[in-house]
Amino acid sequence: MSPAVSDREIMRHFIEELERLTNKLLEMSSLVESAIYHSVTAVVQKDEALARDVIDNEVRINQMEMEIDELAISLLALQHPVAADLRLTTAALKINTDLERMGDLAVNIAERAISLIHEPVVKPMIDIPHIAALVQSMVRKSLDAFVSRDPDLARSVLASDDAVDNLRTASYHELISFMEDDPKNIRQAVDLLSVVRNLERIADHSTNIAEDVLYLAEGIDVRHHAETRG
Amino acid sequence: MSPAVSDREIMRHFIEELERLTNKLLEMSSLVESAIYHSVTAVVQKDEALARDVIDNEVRINQMEMEIDELAISLLALQHPVAADLRLTTAALKINTDLERMGDLAVNIAERAISLIHEPVVKPMIDIPHIAALVQSMVRKSLDAFVSRDPDLARSVLASDDAVDNLRTASYHELISFMEDDPKNIRQAVDLLSVVRNLERIADHSTNIAEDVLYLAEGIDVRHHAETRG
């Protein structure tokens, strides 16, 4: 085997490993998106079984986090990637952590769903599916932006984060008025506030991923420069 | 220069770089601990200037996060660490992210401090300095456990996390009763609930760090095995 073929082999193997890493992240992202969707559906439809499914499925997300970490670390150990490949691999480690945290937050929402199961359906809940749909699409877009190294898609995630913040503020005020109207609403409203906050935190994690993508794609660190988030 | 000396030189340089990385993390941890302390003091003493200091100082924590990331990535690129050194370097990347998030959470608390500035001091606040002191000590211990690779210290952080959860639940019930007593208390109590939740999330980040340390020290992945968190 000539050295040239051998180099090509090594490169091919590296590309395959990176693809495996990316595919695992996409698979994990699908689990997380589905956990978000089901946890919010459990809140809105008062479906306790669905909430328990989300809680039970967290173990799969956690297992996958550990697998992805191992994969990325062994890739660093065996392939010594440099430059763009190195940054891609360390970004995968960060994105992995963000996805696992989103899974935790979906579990928090599922726990609120169980706590809310015997409460009557209230008006302020109307905005929650809306926020949830926006947040889910942010998760999907941030991962797609990572896979396709698409800075425009990453920027659209940053723009959605502002929309989530506005919806969160509106829900917050609505829930406070709801509590002030009748103290019997307080426990329920506090649970709903928690659902909204958890969704907001999921959006923040998608934003982190989008910022990592912008850094990979353009070498600009937008993490702490709000003014460049146009 | 003999090859043996040259190897020793390389090793010495690597150890120096790792020490620089560790020292930077410790420095960042001090900034974060002080942000937590000041944000909670701003809530309790209704000190708006102190709250604004915390908000203004976030830029230093963010700057430091970027520096530490760059340092860790260049260490991976230039030194190709393997085995324990590789895991140490990837752990540093994760710990860096956890510290930066804690800084964000301290800013959230500082913002609540400003929102609470004109409210009268209420009884439920009494537990907040208690939770905050516990959380700050978790941050310090988790970083010390990382620096000294001390699994017992890391385990004590996991034990404190349970104490924080119990205090959080007690505060939560106390704040709900406080709202139910008088609707005029609702806005204030919602802000205080947010302070408690942010402290709990800081504790969660310290737990993440402690789990990383246990993995480094003992090769046991305790992240998702609650039963080993004795």
A70-105 pLDDT, tens per residue? Answer: 999 999 998 888 888 899 999 999 999 999 999 999
pLDDT of residue A124: 62
| Helices within chain B (DSSP H only) | 3-45, 48-79, 83-115, 127-148, 151-181, 186-218
B97/A94 Cβ within 8 A: yes
A190: nearest CB among B72, B76, B176:
B176
Q: What is the mean pLDDT of residues B87-101?
A: 95
Cβ-Cβ contacts under 8 Å for B4 (sequence gap 6 or more): none
Please write the tens of the pLDDT for every residue from A98-116: 999 999 999 999 999 999 9
Specify the pLDDT at position B68: 97
From residue B60, how far is each of B28, B32, B41, B168, B201 by CA, in Å?
A: 9, 10, 20, 29, 21
- pLDDT value of residue A14: 84
Interface test with B, best of A186, A200, A212, A222 (most B CBs within 10 A): A186
Which residues on chain A are in Cβ contact (under 8 Å) with B202? none
Give the C-alpha separation, B75 to B71, whole Å.
Answer: 6
All residues at 6 or more sequence positions from A95 whose CB lies less than 8 Å from its CB, including other chains: A25, A143, A146, A209, A212
pLDDT computed for residue A220 by the predictor: 65
Contact flag B73-A87 (C-beta cutoff 8 Å):
yes
Residue A225 has pLDDT above 60, yes or no: no
Here the tokens at position A96 are 């992995």
Confidence (pLDDT) at A228:
42
Letter for the amino acid at A179?
Answer: M
Chain B nearest-CA distance from A147, in A, is: 21
Reported as a pLDDT band with limits 50, 70 and 90, residue A67 is very high
**Cβ–Cβ of A83/B77 closer than 8 Å?**
yes
Tell me the mean pLDDT in the region A157-164: 95
> What would the mean pLDDT of B210-226 be, rounded to a whole number?
78
Distance CA B37, CA A88 (A): 36
CB contact under 8 A, B186 and A193: no
**Quick one: what percent of chain A has pLDDT higher than 70?**
91
Pairs of CB atoms within 8 A across A/B: 76
User: Between A15 and B219, where is the model more confident?
Assistant: A15
| Contact present, B91 and B212 (Cβ < 8 Å) | yes
Over residues B17-31, the mean pLDDT reads 94
Task: Write out pLDDT tens, residues B28-78.
Answer: 999 999 999 999 999 999 999 999 999 999 999 999 999 999 999 999 998
Nearest to A107 by CA among A40, A185, A164: A40
The answer to whether residue B182 scores a pLDDT higher than 60 is: yes
The Cα diameter of chain A in Å comes to 80
Of the two residues A184 and A126, the one the predictor is more confident about is A184
Question: Does any CB of chain B come closer than 8 Å to the CB of residue A229?
Answer: no
Does the beta carbon of A219 lie under 8 angstroms from any beta carbon of chain B? no
Contacts A80 to B, Cβ<8 Å: 80
Per CB-CB distance under 8 Å, the chain B contacts of A193 are: 190, 193
- Confidence bin at B230 (pLDDT 50/70/90): very low
| B79 pLDDT above the threshold of 70 | yes
Under a CB-based contact definition with an 8 Å cutoff, are residues B215 and B147 in contact?
no
Over residues B88-101, mean pLDDT:
95
Question: Could you tell me which residues come within 8 angstroms of residue A26 by beta carbon, excluding any fewer than 6 positions away?
Answer: A143, A147
Task: Say yes or no: A80 contacts chain B, CB-CB below 8 A.
Answer: yes
| The predicted structure's pLDDT at residue A110 | 98
pLDDT for the residue B229? 44
Residue A189 has a pLDDT of: 93
Among B62, B73, B83, the residue with its CB nearest the CB of A86 is B73
Which residue, chain included where needed, has tokens 């709250």?
A: B51
A227 has pLDDT over 50: no
Interface test with chain A among B85, B98, B224, by most A beta carbons within 10 Å: B224
User: What pLDDT score was predicted for residue B99?
Assistant: 97
Q: Which domains does chain A possess?
A: 3-228 (1.20.58.220)
Q: What is the CA radius of gyration of chain B?
A: 20
**Would you say residue A221 has pLDDT above 60?**
yes
Give the pLDDT of residue B5: 61
Q: What pLDDT does residue B71 have? A: 95
Band of the pLDDT at A127, cuts 50, 70, 90? confident
Residue A162: pLDDT over 70: yes
Q: Which residue of A has its CA nearest to B173?
A: A187
